[in-house]
């Protein structure tokens, strides 16, 4: 589906140009995305009814865009630009790291998305959420060896719970 629904150069030299262009804002990820789809240039067909725009028309329901601020694959600046280009969209900001809000759990984002999907209600304008756990947060063992914690049993806890 990726190859048949996206414009992909048929001339191999164009990928070198795109590589240089995408590496400027995205570094190594720019290189990866260009060459990841180079094989699509040889794909034999395109989608019969591929939608090519316009993308700025109001939709039956407003669009919710969710993006982490520190996503190196889909930049926050691109999410802001796309939200402005769409006819009727709202950006929910995740103050977090990594690729996509789905892979960086946030109860706040989940609550807004569930409400949007079940009722159509968008988050407030400029709504911002945080990740539940920052990346590389230390995991603190709990309990003794018998509970898999690897440390000493907390005697206060053990006394209360028997």
Cβ atoms < 10 Å from Cβ of 115:
14
What is the DSSP code (8-state) at residue 140?
Answer: P
> Along the 162 residues of the chain, how does pLDDT read in single tens digits?
678 777 788 888 898 888 888 888 777 877 887 888 888 888 888 788 878 888 888 889 999 999 999 987 788 999 999 999 998 899 999 998 888 777 778 999 999 999 999 999 999 999 999 999 877 777 666 666 666 555 554 444 444 444
Distance CA 121, CA 62 (A): 9
CA angle 22, 28, 29 (to 5 degrees): 70
Report how far apart, in Å, the C-alpha atoms of 42 and of each of 9, 68, 73 are.
9, 34, 25
């Amino acid at each position: 589906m990726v190859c048949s629904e996206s414009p992909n150069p048929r001339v191999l030299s164009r990928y070198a140009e795109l590589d240089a262009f995408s590496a400027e804002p995205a570094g190594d990820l720019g290189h990866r995305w260009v060459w990841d789809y180079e094989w699509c240039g040889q794909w034999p067909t395109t989608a019969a009814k591929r939608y090519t725009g316009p993308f700025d028309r109001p939709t039956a329901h407003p669009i919710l865009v969710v993006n982490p601020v520190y996503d190196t694959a889909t930049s926050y600046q691109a999410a802001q630009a796309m939200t402005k280009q769409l006819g009727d969209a709202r950006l929910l900001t995740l103050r977090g790291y990594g690729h996509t809000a789905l892979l960086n759990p946030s109860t706040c984002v989940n609550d807004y998305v569930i409400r949007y999907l079940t009722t159509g209600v968008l988050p407030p304008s400029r709504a911002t959420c945080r990740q539940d756990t920052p990346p590389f947060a230390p995991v603190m063992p709990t309990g003794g060896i018998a509970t898999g914690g690897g440390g000493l049993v907390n005697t206060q806890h053990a006394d209360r719970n028997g």
